[in-house]
Amino acid sequence: MSNVVVINGTFMNSYSQVLLSPFFQKILREYISYLRMSDRGLLEVLKPFKSRTKYDYKSITEFLYTLSLEPINEMVMHNQKGCKTCLYQFLEGLYSFWRQKQRFVVKFEKYQKERSAREGVIKGAIETAQEFENTMRNFHRSLQLNVSKREMKVFRQDPGGVQATFLVDKSLVPPPKRIGKRWMYSVPFIWSVVVEPPVIFYTKSNKRKGVFPVIDEEILDKIQFDTKKWYALPLRVGRHLIYFYINKEYLVHAVGLANLYELASPSELGEPDGLIVFGYPFEKCEPSYRNGIIYHDGFYVGIIPDLEENDYFGYAKKILLTVHNLKVIDEGRLPIHGSLAKITLKNGRSANAMFVGDSGAGKSETLDALGRLDEIANVEIIIDDMGSLDVKDGKIVAYGTETGAFVRLDDLPPGYAYATIDRSIFMNPNQTNARVIVPYDNYAEIIEPTPIDFFLYANNYTFVEREEDRVKFFKNTEDALKVFSEGARMAKGTTAEKGLSHSYFANPFGAIQRRKEHEVIAKKFVKRMFETGVKVGEIRTMLGVAGYEKQGTTMAARALAKLL
């Protein structure tokens, strides 16, 4: 049973349209099938509509429509004692069953080149989404009022519409000759997304396993799928264009990606720098690469198989960044798994600090702690998770990739989630490694070169007592490269790893796969840092030290602020 509902075409603004729609009929059948396995008692209310083992869905639909218009005591139905209570519970369960689904609308709308016309289309989608929300809520409330005996005094505006609307169109540019396969351009391209926050999604997995192997083999000619069940997200990952093809069963991750990366317009499309296929049939994949693989034949193609264990946003995000990083290495630049922020003190001083570390090292947590210190005026996050280094006018500069943050809530203050609830996307908030996607919308800033002043490895495993030991600087290139290359980290439940683990340069997203080439580039860049006055060191966040998960990053932040 799919947990995804995709409504194609226009919204419905009347009860009859809702009841007769394919999506409602599908939900009704799934709900009855679910009750057969979990609560057969509630199915007693449907006895008049059952013939042997089959239900008359047309009659059920007609009954629900009549019930939405007039109270049950004016209708002839059951005579059994307590049937109204059972019916009320059946209807409440049906509405909850609908709301537990991941609910989307995909609407074909021609991409308008004129900005005013384009904004008019988007405004129309927003208004119809709100109208559909009201229709679904009022439909449910009418059923409640017409079944319940008691007067309702508290009315809760439960969100009952769709969680996101995708506006799609065909690509407006011809396929490039070198890699232009027919399937690549016959898939609808998403050009705008309307999100209805707060959005909470529950996926089937909540951790990522292993690294994505890279093999030299052509794959584009072998890819085949039903284009009616797929959509394409053209994304600007930093300065690169990557096409992300996604199976409709995983549209939840398309919502997340649209909140983390800049969407490219259909009129801007051309030959991409790489592409991803997410949710590809497992039987068409290499069985040994069940958690993802990247093919390379002069062009990078990442594939994530259609498996429940891969239904985690981390797979979508990280394979996208791995393709980006591989391209960066090919260009002779240095990909960095880390955060970059401009930290401004109240006394007017400021510095750009980059924190390098794998998932759970304390990068985002330290930045959050810095922002809460009294002596800090502002923390402007330029890079949240992945960036790249280049040399411009003799100085080391950084470029970002993402226009938002995919933050682990477990190690952040409880108030963090509430402060961003009106614009965020929450992933599995009831589980370990709960995450929230917070959009920054700062694409113009991240593609501009930003000079760095501090280049710090985020050490989450070393216990320190003295204030002066929380931030330590290396004396030479060799000492720095040794620590960065070891990539030590205490696992925090973000991946399948446990205990103290090591990942080359804290970057299993391209650096490991191209380690030989990366080592040459890394040595060149770290050496240049020492030559140009960038302070290279280590910040001890203690995020992986028992008992210091909350306060460790605050103490590290205070030490860094003191240095500034």
More confident position, 396 or 500: 396
Question: Does residue 53 sit within a domain?
Answer: yes
The pLDDT value recorded for residue 80 is 42
Q: Are 367 and 355 in contact, with CB atoms under 8 Å apart? A: yes
pLDDT tens digits for 15-63? 999 999 999 999 999 999 999 888 778 888 888 888 877 899 999 999 9
Partners of residue 438 on adjacent β-strands: 405
Partners of residue 473 on adjacent β-strands: 537
Domain count, the chain: 3
Q: How confident is the model at residue 81 (pLDDT cuts 50, 70, 90)?
A: very low
187 and 96 in a common domain:
no
Cα separation values, 406 from 105, 214, 424, 477, 509, Å: 24, 25, 10, 32, 16
Which ranges in 261-312 belong to alpha helices (H)?
A: none
Largest alpha-carbon pair distance within the chain? 88
Count of positions (residues) in the chain: 564
316 and 193 in a common domain:
yes
Which of the listed residues 302, 330, 358 is the one where a domain comes to its end? 330
Instruction: Using the predicted structure, report yes or no on whether residue 468 has a pLDDT greater than 80.
Output: yes
367 and 233 in a common domain:
no
Which of the listed residues 298, 330, 362 is the one where a domain comes to its end? 330
**Which is it for strands 454-459 and 350-356: parallel, antiparallel or unpaired?**
parallel
The pLDDT value recorded for residue 4 is 94
290 and 345 in a common domain:
no
128 and 47 in a common domain:
yes
343 and 312 in a common domain:
no
Per-residue pLDDT, averaged over 94-103, amounts to 95
Q: For the chain, state the CA radius of gyration.
A: 26
80 and 43 in a common domain:
yes
Phi, psi (rounded to 5 degrees) for 427: -120, 120
Partners of residue 304 on adjacent β-strands: 278
340 and 324 in a common domain:
no
Instruction: Write out the residue range of the structural domain in which residue 250 sits.
Output: 165-330
**Stated pTM of the model:** 0.91
121 and 59 in a common domain:
yes
359 and 221 in a common domain:
no
* CA proximity to 3, closest of 197, 198, 253, 234: 253
Convert 403-416 to b/e letters by CB count within 10 Å (16 or more is b): bbbbbbbbbbeeeb
From 107-111, 203-207, 405-409, the region with the lowest mean pLDDT: 405-409
